[in-house]
Amino acid sequence: MDKNTDMGVKSESCQLGDAFPSSFPVELERAIFEDAAHLSRHSIPTFMLVAHRVKEWMEPQLYSIVIAHQSSRCPKGYTPPIDRIESYAHHVRHFLVYSVRNFGFDQLIKHLTLCTNLIDVGLWVPHQDPQIFTTLSSLPLQRLSGYLSRIWPDISTQIGGVQTPFLGLTHLELLDSDITWSSIKWLTNLENLTHLSLQGSPSSELVQKIFASCNNLRLIIQEGQKELSGDNRVVHVSPQLTHSTYSEDWLCQARCEHAFWDIAEEMVNRRQREDIESGDDTVAMLSILNEMLRH
């Protein structure tokens, strides 16, 4: 990595060297710094000045989350400059795209290709180059969010005997509002999909067809006007709750904090234990979140 970065980290010559050993065991010292970095992400560049060993521990956290945006709705907080992504791409695990105004889809594809360790991608831009599908399918993704139904079907039919992509994908959020079975039947190829989120008001028939076709699917989050499905695996969320916390929720997930998926899963678990009944899911989700935050 360039010694003079744009991250507010000074030259290594300015750092305290490892000639100042810690009085703690290395494992304990590392755990302390990693916990501190989790609580105060803005402090990571300062922690990196302590010693070279600390710098090596902090770099994966410093560069783990990248947000490409031009929106006031984006979560505030430290995010590395995307124009320097070549120098830290191997550390990136979570990538959220709000806008490609500054670099375009061709450059976005190059950025994604460099980040070979990505497990979580959010593509929150409505119009996408179908080539993105090929790029995404080469990554070890576990979570994916975006406008996908328009770029996925045509390409997925060309997979043929090639190994099915996205075998590691467990959480999928489709932001398209005009979903039909023909536009998402490729879901049946996602063998490990357990969590699905849909926009709009998909019919009960469509929801049941998805459950019947995706053997490991545990829940569906329906983001839109509520339609009674009679299935306790369907969680309804009002647009007001979604829109007010959307980007912050994504960031909470990236930081391994309680977020959207966790709350929905806990609601389904409580329904199956008959701890709660179907009703106002928004109120129930907020109640569950408050309980999680207290523990």
**pLDDT tens digits, one per residue of 53-74:** 888 888 888 889 998 875 555 5
pLDDT digits (tens, 9 = 90+) for 159-190: 444 456 788 999 999 988 888 888 888 888 89
Structure tokens at 106: 């061709």
pLDDT of residue 216: 95
pLDDT digits (tens, 9 = 90+) for 123-144: 888 766 778 888 888 899 999 9
For residue 292, what is the enclosing H or E element?
helix 281-294
In this prediction the pTM is: 0.79
Among 7-11, 21-25, 107-111, the range of highest mean pLDDT? 107-111
Q: 61 with 78: CB under 8 angstroms?
A: no
CA-based R_g, the chain, Å:
21
Number of other residues whose CB lies within 10 A of the CB of residue 43: 14
Give the Cα separation of 230 and 47 in Å (integer). Answer: 52
Please name the residues in contact with 224: beta carbons below 8 A apart, sequence gap of 6 or more.
177, 198, 199, 200, 201, 239
pLDDT digits (tens, 9 = 90+) for 72-103: 555 555 567 787 899 899 999 999 988 777 77
